Chains A and B, each alone.
Chain A
């Protein structure tokens, strides 16, 4: 068996206590900002039985008049749906933040008609007594691409 010095022993105990303390503190008191010690808050909230479930999407109008759903994945748009959702207030204040989605799509579809306009939209599905109810489409923001 390998030896372990008193110092080695002591700092390990101290590090363990500190780590557990930071984790408990993060979960009980802090926000995501203190990652990796933040609360494990994915799917940790409690939606009510009459809540409205929202899916955020970006739609685009092409020069040929077609309206299409623009993918919100890192590979295609450079940014994911979750990151768009986290920034809805900024995007409604400054819709040109949707530029990265447009650029991502355009750079992968060079041969196709140009994008003219983008919409930030949401599918809002209402729950009724814990069961899935009706869905409606809501437009949050519009951005005209510079010609």
Chain B
């Protein structure tokens, strides 16, 4: 029974609600960027019904085939829903609508032959963020809850699983062999196919590319460890993985922005609001004005222990 309880509290740590309130703002605004920059093709793709191959989720839910009016409606729903949810207004309703609409939108984008894998953490995040419910005082909330802890834990798990599962897939596709992927010519293949990034300068050095394959494969396979890191070790892991994404972007023009943004689920975001207010207050003082009216609230909102 005690083991069950400790497993439960690992999945549902007590965490400041303001962390979720801030993460909501960031992620829902990110969705607006995403539908313009990354999964931006559902509307043009919906002009080609002959190429539509519905995924299992679309067949199970018997979703109608995409048409231009349908994708434009989804787009408008996403824009309005994201703006409301980013302001923590109607978090369950607006968040739930965004989760459903964005999942459908992204599924449409993946239903014309190519399926991307950088949206796992974001889709999970959008599904769990509404479950935290209304957060009174939003960014300034001083409340804590297991509901917030569970949502953040789910996002954290899906971030590290994006790496870990990709390592599993590499083992599987190599005929259940640990060495076949890291010893293959995959990076060279990727660089020849995408000859725009810095990777082309590494074409003459296939041994170096293979060393990079070993490094990234090892990091992916062990990524789950990040779930148990704290403090500086966690920060170091986050910096490593951000570096990894910057590197693949520079080498191959492959970005994993929707995964990278979800790393914020590991960050003590609740410190951001008080920090911002302190900066504003000290600016106000330096400018020779009286401290702003909310100076008192700076004291009250003293950073809560990140805990959890």
Most chain B beta-carbon neighbours within 10 Å: one of A2, A39, A82, A125 = A2
| Cα distance A23–B154 in the bound complex, in angstroms | 13
With A32-B115, A53-B192, A87-B113 as contacts: A39 and B169 at CB distance below 8 Å: yes
Interface flags, B13-44, vs A, CB<8A=1, else 0 = 01001000000000000000000000011001
A36 and B103 contact, CB distance less than 8 A: yes
CB distance from A71 to the nearest CB of B (A): 13
Interface flags, A21-56, vs B, CB<8A=1, else 0 = 001101110001111101111111111110101010
CB distance from A17 to the nearest CB of B (A): 9
B162 and A40 contact, CB distance less than 8 A: yes
B185 and A47 contact, CB distance less than 8 A: yes
B114 and A83 contact, CB distance less than 8 A: yes
A55 and B193 contact, CB distance less than 8 A: yes
User: At the interface, yes or no: B266 with Cβ under 8 Å from chain A?
Assistant: no
User: At the interface, yes or no: B168 with Cβ under 8 Å from chain A?
Assistant: yes
B110 and A46 contact, CB distance less than 8 A: no
User: At the interface, yes or no: B117 with Cβ under 8 Å from chain A?
Assistant: yes
B184 and A47 contact, CB distance less than 8 A: yes
| Cα distance A16–B10 in the bound complex, in angstroms | 12
Chain B residues numbered 93-146 whose CB sits less than 8 Å from any CB in chain A: 103, 106-107, 110, 112-117, 119-120, 123-124, 131, 143-146
User: At the interface, yes or no: A13 with Cβ under 8 Å from chain B?
Assistant: yes
CB-nearest residue of chain B to A33 = B56
Instruction: Kindly specify which of A58-66, A108-116, A126-134, A136-144 makes contact with the partner chain.
Output: A126-134
B123 and A36 contact, CB distance less than 8 A: yes
A83 and B165 contact, CB distance less than 8 A: no
- The prevalent SS among residues of B at the interface is helix
A40 and B166 contact, CB distance less than 8 A: yes
| Cα distance A130–B208 in the bound complex, in angstroms | 12
- Chain B residue numbers with a CB within 8 Å of A35 are 55-57, 107, 110, 115
CB distance from B20 to the nearest CB of A (A): 11
A1 and B145 contact, CB distance less than 8 A: yes
- Partner among A9, A36, A75 whose Cβ is within 8 Å of the Cβ of B44: A75
B48 and A79 contact, CB distance less than 8 A: yes
With A2-B144, A40-B166 as contacts: A13 and B192 at CB distance below 8 Å: no
CB-nearest residue of chain B to A135 = B192
Nearest 5 pairs of A and B residues by beta carbon: A86-B113, A46-B184, A82-B114, A40-B166, A2-B145
12 pairs, A vs B, C-beta closer than 8 Å: A1-B145, A33-B56, A36-B57, A43-B186, A45-B184, A46-B184, A46-B186, A78-B45, A83-B45, A85-B114, A87-B113, A100-B47
